Amino acid sequence: MHTPIFWQFPFFSSTLFVIGALLCTGTFTATAAFAHSPICNCYNDDENGDKVICEGGFSDGGSAKGVGVKVLNDRDRVLIKGAMNADSTFTFTKPDDDFHILYDAGPSHQVIIYMDDIE
């Protein structure tokens, strides 16, 4: 096998190594910057069947304290409005109408949970 001519010059081999290292570092840094996805799970309260508990957070382990939560009907009319508490939870009484939950941590950071998905 023949060695490429540019590897025979120390300048090119070290330069290519540095460029490759910088590209890899940039790729991993950019990936880490986007690893902040919202997470929300809602379930029926075992102690009180009329209540729903939602737990929120972020994929990087961040707290959801203060993140807005809305319970909306099928026409997107707000039935209940609140925010995640210090424990990153939000509890509400089930509405009589069909509903869905909007966990709203800002643009591109929203999660919608439909009532049929609540266990």
Give 91's strand partners: 53
Which of 46-49's residues contact partners 24+ apart within 8 Å by CB, and which partners?
Answer: none
Is residue 44 a contact partner of residue 115, using CB atoms and an 8 Å limit? Answer: no
Which segments within the chain are labelled E, that is strand? 38-44, 51-58, 68-73, 78-83, 89-93, 99-104, 110-114
What phi, psi does 39 have (nearest 5°)? -135, 135
Residue 11: its pLDDT value, please?
Answer: 47
Task: Identify which of 92, 99, 94, 88 has the alpha carbon closest to the alpha carbon of residue 39.
Answer: 88
Per-residue pLDDT of the chain (119 residues; tens, 9 = 90+): 555 554 454 544 555 454 555 455 554 444 445 558 999 999 999 999 999 999 999 999 999 999 999 999 999 999 999 999 999 999 999 999 999 999 999 999 999 999 999 99
If you count DSSP H runs as helices and E runs as strands, how many of each does the chain have, helices first?
A: 1, 7
